[in-house]
Structure 1
Amino acid sequence: MATVRQGKIELLESAELVEGARVLVTVLPDDENYFWLEASQASLDTVWNNAEDDVYAQLLQT
């Protein structure tokens, strides 16, 4: 992740990049955050609300 400050892209975490390294940048407009949170939640619900995993809860009870 990165932010833009004074027209320059600044990484939020340090990274070892050689001078002239090519990078791929995806701009995420602020108004799209809600869309991506909702899209992620649907995927998480599919994984966590899985009746097949109930067998593991039963194993823990024994």
Structure 2
Amino acid sequence: MCGDCEADTSKLIADHIRRHGGDPKLFWDPDNLQCLCKHCHDNDKQRAEAAERMAGRIGGV
């Protein structure tokens, strides 16, 4: 998300591009995985997913 490259892979988090929701096919799909730095995963990605969830609730009402 930030575009930074981290040589120390212990600082990277494997992230699902699309939420898998318990679907094993999506969970293990290599095309659904990306590496994010901890900051992007814990902040930017979580904020984006929360906004998606809110939009889904509002749109479905």
TM-score, length of structure 2 as denominator length: 0.29
Highest CA radius of gyration, 1 or 2?
1
The higher-RCO structure (CA 8 Å, 6+ apart) is: 2
Q: What's the TM-score once normalised by structure 1's chain length?
A: 0.29
